[in-house]
Amino acid sequence: MMNIKLGDLVRFVDEPIEGYVTSIQDNDLIGVTDETGFEIPVLRSKLTLVHGNMRMAEDDLDESIKQSQLPFAAKGIFMGIMGEQKDGLAKFVLINETSYELLVSISEVSGSKTTGVFANTIPKQDFAHVYTANFSNVGKWPTFQIQIIRHCRQLQLQTSPINKEFRIKPLDLINSKERIEMLNEKVWLYEIDKQEEDIGLDKLKSHFISHRPKGK
């Protein structure tokens, strides 16, 4: 039996329709949301997986040459949410504006366990569609565990793997969208490689010592 999971791009066997899996239902039914934003229940046996990124594989020998001439970009990994709430369909896109190749694993967190939803490499200055959901269920969107290794064949400063949890809440979508040129549209944008402030033990000690009440 074909392994279909949430977020997969699928095509109907008997009709010229494509869409993303947005629910797994009883009786071997799969909920597929097409570009109109409506979820269509269809038998698993009537679907076939569509593989590949949102971009064409033959893109960009010229683009690669151009990118190699640019300064090295060490930061710029984002999660973008594409789509309009009125249309129903939200696409999660991992955007790599860095000069690193990214080795990415994304899992859905459920208690102490996880289920993988995406695993692939993302070239420098590129992006990948990693998940699909319905805006109508935004309050139930999952928490993701995002793990990223940054890889470069040139000599660079050493980097640690990124390992963080990420979740979109309904109030997050109140923020304005930002335009991303490589997507050619506006998205809700969230920084993944943001440097977290490390409040170390030494800093805490010095803070409490400096703020200790002075005796009379």
Mean pLDDT of 7-13: 86
Q: What percent of the chain has pLDDT over 90?
A: 46
Position 38 scores a pLDDT of 78
- pLDDT at position 163 over 50: yes
Q: What is the pTM of this model?
A: 0.66
Collapsing DSSP to helix, strand or coil, 171 comes out as helix
pLDDT of 119 strictly over 90:
yes
Residue 85 pLDDT greater than 60, yes or no: yes
Domain of residue 30 covers 9-49
Q: Tell me: do 41 and 85 sit in the same domain.
A: no
Give the CATH number for residue 108.
Answer: 2.60.40.1600
CA pair distance 131, 54, nearest whole angstrom: 12
In this predicted structure, the answer to whether residue 56 has a pLDDT above a threshold of 80 is no
- Give the chain's mean pLDDT: 83
Per-residue burial over 157-191, b if 16 or more Cβ lie within 10 Å, else e, is eeeeebeeeeebeeeeeeeeeeebeebeeebbbbe
CB-side neighbour CA atoms (13 Å) of 76: 16
- Kindly tell me the sign of the dihedral angle through the C-alpha atoms of 120, 126, 132, 138: positive
The answer to whether residue 4 sits within a structural domain is no
User: Does residue 106 belong to any structural domain of this protein?
Assistant: yes
Residue 211 covered by a domain: no
Q: How many domains does the chain have?
A: 2
User: Does 40 share its domain with 114?
Assistant: no
Q: What is the pLDDT of residue 179?
A: 92
The dihedral sign for the CA sequence 98, 104, 128, 172: negative
